[in-house]
Amino acid sequence: MIGILSAFGAATSWTYACFIWRSQTQKYKSIDINLIKNIIAFIVFLPAFINLSSATELKYIFVLLFSGIIGIGLGDTFYLKSLQTIGTRKTLSLETLSPLMAAFLGKIFINENLTPKSWIGIIIVSISLFIILKKEVYFKEGNSPFSGKHNFKIYAFPFLSVLCAVLGGLSSRIVFLQSNLSPFLTTEIRLLGAIIFLITLKRFKINFFLNNIEKNQQKRFLLSIFLGTNVGIFLQQIVFKTLPIGIGWALLSTSPVISLFFAKKEEREINKKIIFFTCFLFSGLTLIIL
């Protein structure tokens, strides 16, 4: 039960953070946003290293550093870049591939056997999410220079975002299956891996753009980091520790449905088809959970 609740908590935290991060992608580079949010989140969770002992095997630390590099460093950068180029709705439409991809990779690499009921649930969740996102405009799309073009190359960003995120989650799952490391500590090690990678990519040149935005926006951005990165990744790690990767990822992918609670604020209309496929999605989640 704790894994299920953590998945919904992580999805809720990530949804709120995306509202704020997307507005920043129109002003600053994706890699700069990702680096700053990870540095701040790392500092907040710095006490986690108290739990790091000399008995901790180095191989697990290296796997988690790799998980942070590919899942947070590359994955989040591709995600933010995708928001910037093709908008949120199209990005999240392609993100609906993640539950199925996670289930297949879990089967191939760590031999996680899901029941037929769980597979059916994952497929229902993926189809429902895709249709919900096709039926509504998830966010008001910005004036992207790519929005009116049929340039298939730009769809590489969301696909790579999904692939990197799933591989990062799979790496974490492997560590949890073989060690007793805590979600708190693994979160911090993953953040460290992402920071090392991004700061090297930036040649140690950090654009601390927080100084250039208004105080109210600074507060919202810091809140989004705490919720989307600290809380979000910590809860995500609990999911990877307690649930098979395919099932966990299906539950983590419910952000578009959670966003419906913000519909009134965004002046979006929830029609009958969206309600129907939301109920259909929950039937898939029921199959997965029960």
What residue numbers bound the domain in which 265 lies? Answer: 2-289
> Could you read off the pLDDT of 255-266 as tens digits, one per residue?
767 766 654 554
In this structure, the dihedral spanned by the alpha carbons of residues 151, 156, 161 and 164, taken in order and rounded to 10 degrees, is 180
With beta carbons less than 8 A apart as the criterion, state whether 106 and 118 touch: no
Alpha-carbon distance of 44 to 249, in angstroms, equals: 26
Size of the chain, expressed as the number of residues it contains: 290
Q: What angle do CA 230, 233, 237 make, to 5 degrees?
A: 130
Residues 208-241: tens digit of each pLDDT: 777 777 788 788 888 888 888 889 899 999 999 9
Question: Is 202 buried (19+), middle (13-18) or exposed (0-12) by CB count in 10 A?
Answer: middle
| Higher local confidence (pLDDT), 8 or 268 | 8
How far is the C-alpha of 279 from the C-alpha of 290, rounded, in Å? 16
User: With contact defined as beta carbons under 8 Å apart, do 14 and 72 qualify?
Assistant: no
* Number of domains observed in the structure of the chain: 1
d(CA 69, CA 75): 8
- In angstroms, the CA 238 to CA 221 distance is 24
Pick the range with the lowest mean pLDDT from 128-132, 168-172, 233-237: 128-132
60-253-188 Cα angle (round to 5): 30
Q: Say if residues 252 and 236 touch (Cβ distance below 8 Å).
A: yes
- CA angle, residues 73, 78, 84, in degrees to nearest 5: 130
**Residues 135, 270 contacting (CB under 8 angstroms):** no
Whether residue 163 is predicted with pLDDT greater than 50 in this model: the reply is: yes
| Per-residue pLDDT tens digits for 9-66 | 988 887 777 777 666 656 777 788 888 889 999 999 998 888 777 767 889 999 999 9
Shortest CA distance to 123 belongs to which of 239, 287, 289, 290? 287
Check: pTM over 0.75? Answer yes or no.
yes
Report which secondary-structure segment, H or E, holds 58. Answer: helix 58-67
Mean of the pLDDT values across residues 118-145?
Answer: 68
Angle between the 272-289 and 245-252 helix axes, to the nearest 10 degrees? 150
